[in-house]
Structures are given as C-alpha cells and as structure tokens.
Amino acid sequence: MADAFPELAPPLRILMGPGPSDVHPRVLRAMSTPLVGHLDPEFLKLTDATMELLRRVFQTRNRLTLPVSGTGSAGMEAAFCNSVEPGDNVLVCVAGLFGERMCDVAARCGAKVARVDVEWGRVVEPEQVAAALKAHPAKVVAIVHAETSTGAWQPLEEIARIVHDHGALFLVDAVTSLGGVPVEVDRLGIDVCYSGTQKCLSCPPGLAPITLSDRAVEVIHRRKTKVQSWYLDMSMVERYWGQERLYHHTAPITAIYGLYEGLRLVHEEGLEARWARHQRNGDALHVGLMAMGLELGAQQGHRLPVLTSVLLPQGVDDAALRRDLLTRYNLELGGGLGQLKGKAWRIGLMGHSSSETNVLYALSAIERALREVGVVIPEGVGIQHACARLEMG
C-alpha cells in the first residue's frame, strides 16, 4: 500500500498570501521536541513564560492574556461569546469580510447587532462611530484593526476614546496586525483583543492569543447567563492558565511549544525593530507594484505593510496566474475575497515572510507572469523602484 499512501513531502513554498506565513525553522524545531504532560511542572513554567511574552507583544499588563485553543476565528468567538449576553446591543464596524464575520458571530451570541458600514478598502471614521453610538447605545463596540480582505489599516485611537466616553467595551480583532504593526492594548484601553498565530507571529495555525482588560473580566464575572460555549468560556479556561491549574481541556502542547519559540523570536528582534522591518518591506512592495502600473486596493494613507491588496489589470485570469506562480515559482499569493474575488490579489509580508528577498522575488515573478499574458510593463521597473525605496532605509 506504500504507493497509495506516499510519505508526506510538502513542497517548499514561499508563503506570501493572507496567512499562513512562513514559519521560522526554530519554531518547527521546537514543535518536534518531546511531549510532556499538560500539568507537568516544566510545561506549566512554559505556559507562564508564554503568557508573559504575549503581554509584551500585546503591550499590556492584563493578567488574563493567553492563547485560546483554535485558530483566529476561535479568538473571535471567545471574544464575543464571553463579553456578550443574549439581548445585548453590539455595534460592529464593517469594512470587509472579517467585519462581516464579526456580525455573524455576535448575532449567534444573541446580540442585537447594529453596524457601521464603509466601502471595502476604506477605514471607518471616528464620527461614524460617534453617530452610530448616539443612535444605538451599545455594550460592546467591535472593529478589525487590520482588515485582511482589503489591506486597510484601521486607526483606533480616536474610536477608542469615543467608545469609552460611551461606557462601552472596545473589542478589537488584531489577527493580522499583532507582531507586524503596533497593537497598543493598554495605551488605547482596548478591552478585548484577539489574534492568531499564523499571520505576523509566523507560527502554524492553531492558537488564538487573547487578552482581556480588568473591566472586561468584571463584565464577564457579572454575567447573568452562562457563556453558551463550554470550550471557550474564559472564566473556566482561566482556571487552568491561572494559579489553580485546574484541568479544563488538554492544552495543545506542541502548538504552545511553537508559539513560545515564535514569541521568543519576536522578543529577540524587538518590537520596534520588527515593526520597522514590516513597514520598510511593505513600503517597498507598494512602491514596486505601483511602478508596474498596478492599483492598490486600500485607501491611500491607510495601507497595511503586512497585507497588500492589489487590483488585477482587466482581462487577466486570476486563478490561472496564481496557479502559475505557485507551480513555477513556489510562490503563494492570496486571491480576492467577497466582492474582490477574481479581481484582486492579496500579498502578505507577515512575520518571517517579510523580507527584502521576498519583496524582490515576488515583484519579479509577478512582472514576468503578467508580461507573459500581454500586460505592458517596462522591464524591471517594479524592482528598480522597490530597491530605491529599500535603500532609503
């Protein structure tokens, strides 16, 4: 039966889509080390260190800061199902697919959902949130920091102030931003913030770091109804991650090894240096793509360095071209989502994938592939502009 079930031999791809990103060899090595029990004193030390490293990357002193078992969407579920009780009013800012997903999740928690909608690619303006809160007072206001479907980078500071003036909890999706651009949980007073491991933290998918402010924890402890998800009930989960070390569900040990090593890499590089690296490489990619005559999807001035949405020239076959890039160059880019399906690409420069090498490689592969299908691009123009931008530092 050896023929029917060949040995696992995944190709070595360059992961420049919307996640997962390339995983550092040190993380992969950590994940091949021996298991210990999830209540082993050595493992408990590791969970404490992981929580401390997570606080640093979230820039918070929140006690309740831990990785939820599950991908980024489990973080989203945990954020909503703990902070929302049936009948609560929730205001969701929708600027793309992940804002839409928040509405769905909140509604499934029994929330009465009001929304602020903006055109995909644009960011939500503070005045819109203020007006919406005046019309629909809410217990929780939710927003996506880095909208991975559009490449837009949502400013949070003024909106945070408005939300707190209204006495609401501020809930932020930092799945694509954490570890790539600053996520300032304490300075902005974000009450509930979650992320995922496979984007700018460059670990495999499977964990969702989350942090809750004391205010959020108080709201959870004052709930009149039980959290409808047993698995994601933070008041139970925290008893394993806290002093009691009470069994709730078996911690995904190997995934936590990987996250710990990934966070150590973040710590060694330093947050400031890491943000600067992502910004520099993102800027170079943007400049290079625009020099090739391509249009970026996100609003100018609010473009993420970690995820770039670029519109395809008319008549280009999205799926065929991306398949070509994957098979000939081992280069994975993401397709458009929702209303941008078939019309845009999403190029990630996240974590370990954010390198000068990858910027130049992707620009040359894209140029070659587009020229081959007849798009007129002066030879090497993207690379030249990107290099000039990189040399500026």
Residue from 14, 16, 17, 19 binding ligand PLP (CB under 6 A) = 19
**Minimal distance in Å, beta carbon 49 to ligand PLP?**
23
Find out whether 262 and 27 touch, Cβ atoms under 8 Å: yes
In Å, the largest CA–CA distance within the chain is 66
Q: For residue 26, what are its two tokens? A: 């040190």
Q: Verify binding: residue 252, ligand PLP, rule CB under 6 A.
A: no
Which residue, 176 or 358, has its beta carbon nearer to ligand PLP?
176
Find out whether 94 and 107 touch, Cβ atoms under 8 Å: no
**Minimal distance in Å, beta carbon 79 to ligand PLP?**
10
Which residue, 306 or 386, has its beta carbon nearer to ligand PLP?
306
Find out whether 75 and 195 touch, Cβ atoms under 8 Å: yes
Which residue, 53 or 208, has its beta carbon nearer to ligand PLP?
208
Which residue, 47 or 154, has its beta carbon nearer to ligand PLP?
154
d(CA 290, CA 124): 25
For residue 355, the SS3 value is coil
Q: Verify binding: residue 98, ligand PLP, rule CB under 6 A.
A: yes
Residue 143: enclosing H or E segment and its boundaries? Answer: strand 140-144
For residue 334, the SS3 value is strand
Q: Verify binding: residue 73, ligand PLP, rule CB under 6 A.
A: yes
Find out whether 122 and 152 touch, Cβ atoms under 8 Å: yes
Among 112, 55, 63, smallest CA distance to 86 is for 112
**Minimal distance in Å, beta carbon 179 to ligand PLP?**
13
Residue from 67, 196, 282, 288 binding ligand PLP (CB under 6 A) = 196
Task: Give the type of residue at 78.
Answer: A
Residue from 15, 90, 138, 175 binding ligand PLP (CB under 6 A) = 175
Q: Verify binding: residue 209, ligand PLP, rule CB under 6 A.
A: no
Q: Is the peptide bond before 10 cis (omega within 30 degrees of 0)?
A: no
Q: For residue 197, what are its two tokens? A: 């491991």
**Minimal distance in Å, beta carbon 101 to ligand PLP?**
7
Stretch that binds ligand PLP, among 2-10, 66-74, 105-113, 295-303 (CB under 6 A): 66-74
d(CA 179, CA 33): 25
Which residue, 205 or 380, has its beta carbon nearer to ligand PLP?
205
Q: Verify binding: residue 181, ligand PLP, rule CB under 6 A.
A: no
Find out whether 169 and 143 touch, Cβ atoms under 8 Å: no
Which residue, 99 or 382, has its beta carbon nearer to ligand PLP?
99
Q: Verify binding: residue 17, ligand PLP, rule CB under 6 A.
A: no
Stretch that binds ligand PLP, among 170-178, 286-294, 298-306, 331-339 (CB under 6 A): 170-178
Nearest residue to ligand PLP, by Cβ distance, number only: 72
Place of tokens 């408990």: 44
Other Cβ atoms closer than 10 A to 168 = 21
Residue from 173, 233, 261, 367 binding ligand PLP (CB under 6 A) = 173
Which residue, 196 or 336, has its beta carbon nearer to ligand PLP?
196
How is residue 338 annotated by DSSP? G
d(CA 266, CA 276): 13
Q: Verify binding: residue 205, ligand PLP, rule CB under 6 A.
A: yes
d(CA 338, CA 292): 25
Question: Among residue numbers 127 through 156, which ones bind ligand PLP (CB under 6 A)?
Answer: 144, 146, 148
Among 188, 138, 125, smallest CA distance to 167 is for 138
Stretch that binds ligand PLP, among 65-73, 110-118, 162-170, 217-225 (CB under 6 A): 65-73
**Minimal distance in Å, beta carbon 233 to ligand PLP?**
19
Binding site for ligand PLP (CB under 6 A): 19, 71-73, 76, 98, 144, 146, 148, 173, 175-176, 196, 205
